[in-house]
Amino acid sequence: NTEEELYRPNFHFTPKKAWMNDPNGMFYYNGYYHLYFQYHPDSNVWGPMHWGHAISTDMITWSEQPIAIYPDELGTIFSGSAVVDISNSSGLGEVEKSIPIIAMYTNHKDFGNGKVKQVQSIAYSNDEGKTFKKYENNPVIDNDTIKDFRDPKITWDEDRHKWIMSLAAGDKIMFYDSKNLKNWNLLSEFKKDKNSKDGVWECPDLFKLPVKGTEEFKWVLFVSIGTGGPNGGSSTQYFVGDFDGTNFKIDKEFEKSLKENHNYWLDFGKDNYAGVSWSNARTKDGAKLMIGWMSNWDYAVKVPTETWRSAMTTPRKVALKKDDNGYRLISTPVQDLNKYRGTKFKKENIAVNGITKIIGSESIDLASTEINFNLNNLDDKSFTFKLSNKVNDTLLFGYSHAKKSFFIDRKKSGKIKFSEKFANKISYAPRTSTNKNLSGTILIDKTSIELFFDEGETVMTEIFFPNQPFSTFSIETKNRELLLDYIEINQLNIN
Ligand code: FRU
């Protein structure tokens, strides 16, 4: 069917059928990366939430599993996290020494008339995350007063040997600790102020990261906001600071730059939301691994697919660096994507003046590619990469010197009318790097583009729905000639 052919991604996770939103409960155990997700199995729009499930040995090819957690008398199952309870601190391992997986999620109960109750519950698995039993004394955190009170994300605090949990409560993050994952004590609150962005706070994540190339460690807090993102709608902001076992405090220097210019977004594109990290997986250099929901509440329920709705982003490695401009997160596609590289086209020293075609579909399937490029002396130049097809759908992206920003323009990218918020504006991401040269990695799938500029310092992810596959990839400059040092295009052979 044409929907499958045209829109089912080649290398991004989608459920076989029905509605999906946030990634949930990611952990790594016994050779498998686990990904759960907000799932409404009976429809292609949001509804009573379950936890769907998928597993992978490399985070690139996924195998969907049966639904892991179903709604119960306390409500439907909203977002949350899962940890491998290695020491059986919960005592929920079935036989002595069995290692249980503990999931913590929000039970959401809707009484109608806008009255809802959100409480936190846990469930445990003694078969490596396949099936879960609900804990008998749920909820583990009750609540009668706070309207938005959700998305528990557990981290192991290795410095203090206890579990830490971050919870979103409308306009603040509440931190808890626990020794056994069952009894939780409120530690402190981190409140929204004028340096943080508006919109209901959701899906927090607090974790420690090494600062690249130093002996220093910092703590990073992700806070997703449903509305108010840099290019409209949903987006994820982050804060860099310190956590002393009780309080999270923003780093003084970081706070200063935040005041000057709030551009601390995990991703400036419109389609990376509610991203959180794998609870117990890191790269060799100590970076975290994460994945996001590749859509936006502005239009997610209206995107033009019927069988399924929404995909996840390519999983990313998230590291922290510090330079003259202060701390900044850097995100790059996970390493394992490289092992799917097939045919490679490499061109060097391309002088671009006007439109230059780089490659056409006769040599490569553009909808499954990884492109790396470098250009010397960006200077005062602007350029536009262009994906196009025979019916004149075009997706434009590149760098605008006038705005000192990267951009994605999907105004003519195919089906756009399903929501006026989808393509009414060009999305921009200010360039923060002061490097003379510009390097970038571009991931293209059938319905998405992910841009990693300046080694992952600025990232943009957006989706699109062309009427036919894109068949030509070109680059254009106006006014100034540009020298593209090199560009290499790798076919990704995922299936
Ligand atoms: C974020 C979110 C979460 C909530 C879930 C419900 O997209 O609103 O806060 O737990 O989706 O599906």
Statement to judge: residues 324 and 359 lie in one domain: no
For the stretch 143-158, pLDDT in tens is 999 999 999 999 999 9
Structure tokens at 267: 């991703």
Please state, as a whole number, how many other Cβ atoms lie within 10 Å of the Cβ of residue 118.
Answer: 23
Residue 272 Cβ < 6 Å to ligand 1: no
For residue 187, the cross-strand partners are none
Instruction: List the one residue out of 159, 187, 194 whose CA is nearest residue 173.
Output: 187
Across the strands, what pairs with 350?
A: 484
Give the rounded percent of residues in the chain with a pLDDT score beyond 90: 92
Using the predicted structure, report yes or no on whether residue 479 has a pLDDT greater than 80. no
Can you list the pairs that 386-390 forms with residues at least 24 positions away whose Cβ atoms lie under 8 Å? 386/355, 386/472, 386/473, 386/474, 386/475, 386/476, 387/444, 387/449, 387/470, 387/472, 387/473, 388/470, 388/471, 388/472, 388/474, 389/466, 389/467, 389/468, 389/469, 389/470, 389/471, 389/472, 390/468, 390/471
Whether the predicted pLDDT of 141 surpasses 70 = yes
Ligand 1 contact via 310 beta carbon (within 6 Å): no
Q: From 306, 333, 360, give the residue that closes a domain.
A: 333
Q: Euclidean distance between the first and final Cα of the chain, in Å?
A: 18
307 and 394 assigned to the same domain: no
State the average pLDDT over residues 410-418. 98
| CA dist., res. 149 & res. 24, Å (int) | 16
Is the Cβ atom of 331 under 6 angstroms away from ligand 1? no
Structural domain count, the chain: 2
Question: Is residue 196 scored above 90 in pLDDT?
Answer: no
The yes-or-no verdict on residue 360 having pLDDT over 90 is no
Quick check: 303 pLDDT over 80? yes
Element of type H or E holding 174: strand 172-178
The answer to whether residue 495 scores a pLDDT higher than 90 is no
| Same domain as 340, residue 317 | no
pLDDT digits (tens, 9 = 90+) for 124-137: 999 999 999 999 99
- Residue 488 to residue 250: CA distance in whole angstroms: 40
Whether ligand 1 lies within 6 angstroms of the CB of 150 is answered as: yes
Mean pLDDT, residues 40-45: 98
How would residue 490 be classed by pLDDT, with cut points 50, 70 and 90? very high
AA letter at 85:
D
Q: How many C-beta neighbours within 10 Å does residue 471 have?
A: 18
Known catalytic membership, residue 177: no
Q: Which residues contact 413 (CB under 8 A, 6 or more apart)?
A: 393, 394, 395, 423, 464, 465, 466
Q: Is the pLDDT of residue 97 over 80?
A: no
| Prediction ipTM score | 0.99
CATH code, domain with 307? 2.115.10.20
Give 227 Cα–ligand 1 centroid separation in angstroms. Answer: 12
CA distance 71 to 84: 22
Over residues 164-178, the mean pLDDT reads: 97
All residues at 6 or more sequence positions from 100 whose CB lies less than 8 Å from its CB, including other chains: 85, 88, 90, 92, 93, 94, 124, 125, 126
Cβ-Cβ contacts under 8 Å for 460 (sequence gap 6 or more): 267, 268, 269, 397, 406, 408, 427, 429, 449, 450, 451, 453
Range of the domain at 178: 2-333
Residues 148 and 62 reside in one and the same domain = yes
Summary mean pLDDT of the chain:
96
Q: How many C-beta neighbours within 10 Å does residue 350 have? A: 16
**Within this chain, do residues 65 and 173 fall inside the same structural domain, yes or no?**
yes
422 CA distance to ligand 1 middle (Å): 20
Q: How far is CA 110 from CA 41, 50, 227, 298, in A?
A: 19, 15, 22, 22
Residue 446 Cβ < 6 Å to ligand 1: no
Distance between Cα 71 and ligand 1 center (Å): 15
203: Cβ below 6 Å to ligand 1? Answer: yes
Does one domain contain both 110 and 228? yes
**Whether residue 83 sits in one domain with residue 135:** yes
Give the largest Cα separation in the chain, rounded: 72
Q: Is 144 exposed, middle or buried (0-12, 13-18, 19+ CB in 10 A)?
A: exposed
Same domain, 194 and 300: yes
- The ligand 1 atom at the shortest distance from the C-alpha of residue 224 is 1
Residue 193: CB partners within 8 Å, gap ≥ 6? none
Lowest mean pLDDT among 49-53, 258-262, 342-346, 466-470: 258-262
Please compute the mean of the pLDDT values over residues 48-73 and round it to a whole number.
98
Name the domain boundary from 333, 353, 375: 333
Confidence of residue 164 (pLDDT cuts 50, 70, 90): very high
Residues 76 and 139 in one domain: yes
Residue after which a domain boundary falls, among 300, 333, 366: 333
The ligand 1 atom at the shortest distance from the C-alpha of residue 293 is: 7
Q: Is the CB of 20 under 6 A from ligand 1?
A: no
Active-site residue, selected from the candidate residues 22, 151, 267, 393 = 22
Domain identity same for 214 and 119: yes
Q: Are residues 220 and 122 in the same domain?
A: yes
Whose Cα sits closest to atom 6 in ligand 1?
A: 78
Which atom belonging to ligand 1 lies closest to the Cα atom of 79?
Answer: 10
Q: What is the pLDDT of residue 197?
A: 65
Note whether 143 and 193 are same-domain residues: yes
CATH classification at residue 378: 2.60.120.560
232: left (phi over 0), alpha (psi -120 to 50) or beta: left
